[in-house]
Amino acid sequence: MVRRIAGVAVISALLFSLFVAPVAAQEQQPVLVVGGTPAGVAAAVAAARQGADVTLVARRDVLGGVLTDAMMDQWDFNLSPDGAAIQGGLFTEIHAALGDAFTPDAAARTFAMLVAAEPRIHLITGARATDVSSRATLTGRAVTGVRFRRDDGSRFDLAAATVVDATDDGDVAAMAGARYDVGRQDTGLDERMQPVTLMFTVRGVDWHALVDDYTVARYGRGGAGLRRAWGYAKLLAEYQPLAANVVVRDLNLGREPDGEVTVNAINVLGIDGRYDGEIARARRVSERETPHLLAFLRDRLPGFEHAALSRFADAVYVRETRHFAGVERLTADDVWNGKIPDDTIGLSSYPLDLHPVTPGDRPAYAPIRHVYGIPFGTLVPRDLVNVILASPAISATHIAAGSARVIPTTIEEGEAAGIAAALAQRLHLTFGTLARDAGAIGLVREQLERGGAILTYGATTRTADAAARTAKGL
């Protein structure tokens, strides 16, 4: 059983890491952040603000991940049960710039400005991680380099002493050999994953008519306002998809400044989001289904009478792939019981939200919010000494990930990962050593709080049993 080294001084952890598993020449290499996601930007900015040099490599030419590529134009907020904000830090800077709803272009500009404001960040775009080099140490594998392929087919290598894997699927950690489950594998049922969605925009929607028509009695739980409309489960219960692997249970609509409306509705089942071929298949299914759905909405939803397809998102939104085996593991009990452990790096409260994985499944959405903490150990793959995660692929069960996968939570993970990466380089600590040392975790939390992060809820911090929590990651 692996247990946290509670109360051990940071200097003891420092000596241990130097003796057992040093990562060579950390001070001479930048922190490598892989993934131009919101979490990746947060990690790069946080590390740079701690004085570290950073190389940020993004898959696409613009930063923002699903917010820019997949048209996700609204936040899934972390709020207290009475509606108060429980998240600070870098997320508040991003939210202040974008508001509650935004366009992909606005998101791209915001993330670009955050990165440009930090001279210690070297940005590389249009490159995808394809391979890693690594070496064995007494406490796990250390990644020594990452190979990338540019969009033009050329390749390049970057040395790596400290890596933040901010890809949505944990690609670097997987290539390095870290253990993981996929989908709902931990339940023992199968390895199926939550569905993927190709968002699209429509023109010609009479938004005022849409808002005026909305009632809970007619459409079910949801709402409609100035920029957002969501719900409509009662209406969609009558919809018959063309494809057997498509489910449309509700609508999430966003009104853009130019009057176009984004639509998040079509769930494609049976897709393994780790593979390009599977993503291409989901796109084909969605593009065939979209005109059929629009015809249904034109006939049945006031305000959509003249709606016409405008464009599809550049990327398919993937909700779930890998769940890594970390030093700690977030469970549904942790979420539901509102556990806030000593190594919390951010608070979350998004309801447990699990989309169906088969056509016959009922969606699982628990609207009651429970404020809980994201443990630092869930970001640390226990097989790797110098890689830390900031993405939906952290160490969490399938059910717990239904809450923790939302972007505001991954942003706070990125901020913590960036601070930890800078600290690990400065003190020559492995992430596993850092995760098990109360003093070192205290330094990470101190820097998070200095940046405005909220790490406690209520009058006192509720603490989970650290040894039992760590054991869940085994």
Q: Each residue of 389-411: pLDDT tens digit?
A: 999 999 999 999 999 999 999 99
Q: What is the pLDDT of residues 61-94, one digit of tens each?
A: 999 999 999 999 989 999 999 999 999 999 999 9
Distance CA 373, CA 39 (A): 17
Q: What is d(CA 318, CA 302) in angstroms, rounded to the nearest whole number?
A: 30
* pLDDT higher than 60, residue 471: no
For the segment 149-197, what is each residue's pLDDT rounded down to a tens digit?
999 999 999 999 999 999 999 999 999 999 999 999 999 999 999 999 9
Confidence of residue 461 (pLDDT cuts 50, 70, 90): very low
Helices (H), 319-397: 332-336
Between CA 148 and CA 163 the distance in angstroms is: 14
User: Per mean pLDDT, which range of 69-83, 245-259, 305-319, 459-473 is the poorest?
Assistant: 459-473
What's the confidence (pLDDT) of residue 346?
Answer: 98
10 pLDDT above the threshold of 50: no
Asked if residues 132 and 34 have their Cβ atoms less than 8 Å apart, the reply is: no
pLDDT of 424 > 80? The answer is yes
Q: What is the DSSP letter of 379?
A: G
Interval 426-439 mean pLDDT? 94
Helix (H, G, I), strand (E, B) or coil at 136: strand
Calpha distance 409→392 (Å, rounded): 9
CA–CA distance, 133 with 146 (Å, rounded to integer):
6
Question: pTM for the full model?
Answer: 0.90
For position 28, what pLDDT does the model report? 59
CA 30 to CA 63: how far, in whole Å?
Answer: 20
Residue range 285-328, pLDDT digits in tens: 999 999 999 999 999 999 999 999 999 999 999 999 999 999 99
Q: Which CATH number fits domain 10-184+320-471: 2.60.40.1180, 3.90.1150.10, 3.50.50.60, 1.10.287.610?
A: 3.50.50.60
pLDDT value for 365: 72
| Of 284, 276, 272, 277, residue with least CA distance to 242 | 284
Please tell me the distance from the alpha carbon of residue 104 to that of residue 199, in angstroms, as a whole number.
12
Both tokens assigned to 232? 């409509």
* Cα distances (Å, whole numbers) of residue 80 to 84, 89, 339: 5, 17, 14
* Predicted local distance difference test score (pLDDT) of residue 364: 75
**pLDDT at residue 362, rounded to an integer:** 75
Average pLDDT over residues 95-103: 93
Does pLDDT of 25 surpass 60? no
110-140 confidence digits (pLDDT tens): 999 999 999 999 999 999 999 999 999 999 9
Mean pLDDT of the chain: 91
Checking if the pLDDT of 27 tops 80, the result is no
For the CA atoms of 25, 28, 34, 40, the dihedral, rounded to the nearest 10 degrees, stands at 120
Where b means 16+ CB within 10 Å and e means fewer, 130-139 reads: eebebeebeb
**Distance, CA of 344 to CA of 459 (rounded, Å):** 16
**pLDDT at residue 8 greater than cutoff 50:** no
* 17/162 Cα distance (integer angstroms): 14
SS3 384: strand
